[in-house]
Structure 1
């Protein structure tokens, strides 16, 4: 075998190893995300049925895990899984994602934004696991604090308003893509039976629609905070979910949304198993 052939073989082997590591990171990250969404949805269901003792957000989910046997081990596993999620998104930003349009600039920038987001989430979970950080701060406190600081800078109202509109648009985009089943192109559908595919569609459509609705509602509250110059009107995940129970539909709307959040967690598990990476 000549030198060039040997070099090509080494590059192929290295590429295969990197691909395997990226797949493992993606599947660990999607599983960790699924755990958090399932727990948040369950906590929201408890709120709907009168038990509001726990925050229905990431901090509440982490506190719930910490109370379980081997809770510290589970928290570390969750944090490491989310690090894998950030690494996967970083690889998409650097090398491109799977699919014909995976190397487009828009896709890479979106992957970079997701990488930064999941890196922050992983840091907060690992901080909570060690007890050395603010990973347990509620989403409502964080939202109000960030909004207050943003409103205090020059053109703060416009900045908060623009971000809020972006969150609303993102929520609508998430929901519409879920209802249109755009996720099909990312799944290895040929490996699923017809019955399993139907179950995945129920979780994907219902979960994605609920997630999009929550995003859009949180963005609407942030927009109201910007217009009124009232940072206390911004809401995190917990307060946003609770607000659904204050509508004319009462707690039953919260039940539906919370069930959808659980479905999105289950859909994340399906992605961990069948997503193309």
Structure 2
């Protein structure tokens, strides 16, 4: 494992964690009526931009997310942790590649905020009008199904422990606390992903709505339920835990290629 790969991973973990911590804190303040607002990625980036040295923070965060994306691509293409070429390993590596694409987009969004005028993120984002209604319907349904599967996989992986085992934390300091934090965070993230999947499926089957739904809309949806305050608090705290989990990874993450000493490797 090259040292440069480990540095990329550590910077990426911190950057990804910060995004989720900010989203969680802003949403928690909103749930407690302490001045925050239901927040998504756009709102978190806008919040950073409004702080002292906001543009510097955005630049560092965007650069860090690029590092995270590059680390995902390195894992998927070069397999530095030697996950292998079995069917399950290939599927995991494909998932890492798609994750890299997603966070490349988030990094681009951070740089967009950096180089444009203030953007509040309050306006709804719409798909291009030239997309036909039939194509849009099938597109929404397909996205909804993919997100629903992702949410179920996250819940299953967190419940069985396999999702957290991939981070190789066992034996590290504060192992149990970090693992519990990660499990709670993955449940919260899965919950929000399932809500967003519901939005897309509903739009595809019924409303023909062209608006993109995201994390902020999921928190807004929670506000409409009878247990809104409790659900929002739990989900927001879960996002904070999820973000903190990745920040802790920057220090305590072990890499698979480090697991076996040379003398322990098969001859």
TM-score by length of 2: 0.84
Distance 1:102 1:24, change over 3 A: farther
Give CA deviations for 1:211-244 in whole Å, capped at 9, x if unaligned: 0000011011110000014315753211111211
In structure 2, the residue matched to 1:165 is 145
Of structures 1 and 2, the one with the larger relative CO (CA 8 A, separation 6+) is 2
Which residue of the other structure, out of 194, 197, 218, is the alignment partner of 1:240?
A: 218
8 Å CA contact retained: 1:25, 1:84: yes
Distance 1:26 1:45, change over 3 A: same
- Alignment gaps of 5+ in structure 2: 256-267
* Partner SS, residue 51 of structure 2: coil
Of the two, which has the highest radius of gyration? Answer: 1
TM-score by length of 1: 0.82
Distance 1:110 1:149, change over 3 A: farther
8 Å CA contact retained: 2:11, 2:250: yes
Distance 1:139 1:174, change over 3 A: farther
Matched residues, number: 252
Pairwise CA distance, 1:97 = 5.1
8 Å CA contact retained: 1:151, 1:231: no
Residues 127-166 of structure 1: matches in 2 within 5 Å?
Answer: 127-131=112-116, 136=119, 138=121, 141-142=124-125, 145-146=126-127, 152=132, 154-166=134-146
Distance 1:154 1:239, change over 3 A: closer
Which residue of the other structure, out of 234, 237, 243, is the alignment partner of 1:256?
A: 234
In structure 2, the residue matched to 1:231 is 209
In structure 1, the residue matched to 2:101 is 116
In structure 1, the residue matched to 2:156 is 176
Which residue of the other structure, out of 203, 223, 244, is the alignment partner of 2:181?
A: 203
Distance 2:10 2:112 in 1: 22
CA root-mean-square deviation: 2.5
- Alignment gaps of 5+ in structure 1: 1-15
Pairwise CA distance, 1:80 = 0.5
Distance 2:158 2:145 in 1: 20
Q: Which has the higher helix share?
A: 1
